[in-house]
């Protein structure tokens, strides 16, 4: 689904407390019966340096039939925050967007820091 980026634009280390890869592994994959776990090669995180590869992969399978995501305090779904009050954003650009890197609103950042790193 997604992960945070470091100062170089790469996914944060899996050991970071906000790592989505680690969260999914610990809270979902490792809790499955080993015989039911997905093959690790089928667990994908978008490459922030090549986001179009994720879009191409999804399209190669004919699209996505189902997607799970979470809601945030700004009303965002799966990190698609509304623009900051001083930013303009065309609705059509959001509707037609594909895999990409996004900036999160200050409120979302605060929520994630409180939940994921206990305020640190």
Three-state SS for 33-72 is CHHHCCCHHHCCCCCCCCCHHHHHHHHHCCCCCCCCCCEC
Give the span between the Cα atoms of 112 and 103, in whole angstroms. 13
What count of residues does the chain have? 120
Over residues 33-70, the pLDDT tens digits come to 999 999 999 888 889 999 999 999 999 999 988 777 77
Distance CA 26, CA 31 (A): 7
The whole-number pLDDT of residue 1 equals 66
Q: Measured in Å, how far apart are the chain's first and last C-alpha atoms? A: 24
What pLDDT does residue 48 have? 92
Tell me what the pLDDT averaged over the chain comes to: 83
Reply yes or no on whether the pLDDT at 105 is more than 90: no
Q: Which residue has the higher pLDDT, 42 or 80?
A: 42
Question: At 32, is the secondary structure helix, strand, or coil?
Answer: coil
């Amino acid at each position: 689904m997604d992960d945070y980026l470091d100062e170089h634009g790469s996914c944060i280390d899996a050991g970071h407390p906000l790592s989505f890869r680690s969260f999914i592994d610990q809270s979902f994959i490792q809790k499955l019966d080993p015989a039911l776990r997905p093959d690790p090669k089928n667990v994908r995180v978008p490459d922030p340096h090549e986001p179009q590869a994720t879009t191409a992969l999804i399209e190669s399978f004919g699209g996505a039939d189902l997607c799970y995501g979470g809601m945030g305090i700004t009303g965002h779904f799966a990190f698609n925050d509304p623009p900051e009050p001083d930013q303009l954003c065309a609705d059509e650009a959001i509707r037609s967007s594909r895999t990409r890197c996004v900036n999160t609103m200050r409120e979302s950042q605060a929520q994630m820091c409180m939940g994921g790193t206990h305020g640190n």
